[in-house]
Amino acid sequence: MQALLNDIEGISTLTRFGRVARIEGLAVEVTGAQGAVSLGG
Protein backbone atom coordinates (compact mmCIF):
# COMPACT_ATOMS: atom_id res chain seq x y z
CA MET A 1 0.00 0.00 0.00
CA GLN A 2 2.82 2.43 0.80
CA ALA A 3 4.35 1.85 -2.63
CA LEU A 4 1.06 2.82 -4.25
CA LEU A 5 0.84 5.98 -2.15
CA ASN A 6 4.39 6.89 -3.15
CA ASP A 7 3.51 6.40 -6.83
CA ILE A 8 0.45 8.61 -6.48
CA GLU A 9 2.44 11.36 -4.77
CA GLY A 10 4.93 11.27 -7.65
CA ILE A 11 2.30 12.17 -10.26
CA SER A 12 2.68 15.77 -11.35
CA THR A 13 -0.38 17.99 -11.06
CA LEU A 14 -1.75 20.17 -13.80
CA THR A 15 -3.79 23.30 -13.20
CA ARG A 16 -5.89 24.88 -15.91
CA PHE A 17 -8.16 27.81 -15.51
CA GLY A 18 -10.68 29.70 -17.55
CA ARG A 19 -14.00 31.40 -17.03
CA VAL A 20 -17.52 30.27 -17.78
CA ALA A 21 -18.89 33.00 -20.03
CA ARG A 22 -22.35 31.62 -20.70
CA ILE A 23 -24.54 28.58 -20.08
CA GLU A 24 -27.37 27.92 -22.48
CA GLY A 25 -29.20 24.61 -22.12
CA LEU A 26 -26.51 21.91 -22.13
CA ALA A 27 -23.93 24.15 -23.84
CA VAL A 28 -21.26 25.89 -21.77
CA GLU A 29 -19.16 28.66 -23.30
CA VAL A 30 -15.72 29.01 -21.70
CA THR A 31 -13.15 31.78 -22.22
CA GLY A 32 -9.51 31.91 -21.20
CA ALA A 33 -8.83 28.17 -21.45
CA GLN A 34 -6.83 28.14 -24.69
CA GLY A 35 -5.30 24.73 -25.31
CA ALA A 36 -7.02 23.23 -22.29
CA VAL A 37 -10.23 22.11 -23.95
CA SER A 38 -11.21 21.46 -27.51
CA LEU A 39 -14.45 21.76 -29.41
CA GLY A 40 -16.87 19.30 -27.86
CA GLY A 41 -14.58 18.69 -24.90
Q: What is the pLDDT of residues 1-41, one digit of tens each?
A: 889 998 888 888 877 778 889 999 998 888 886 666 666 66
Most distant CA pair in the chain: distance in Å? Answer: 46
pTM: 0.43
Instruction: Provide the residue ranges of all domains of the chain, joining segments of one domain with +.
Output: 2-31
pLDDT number for residue 29:
86
CA neighbor of 40 nearest in space, from 15, 29, 25, 17: 29
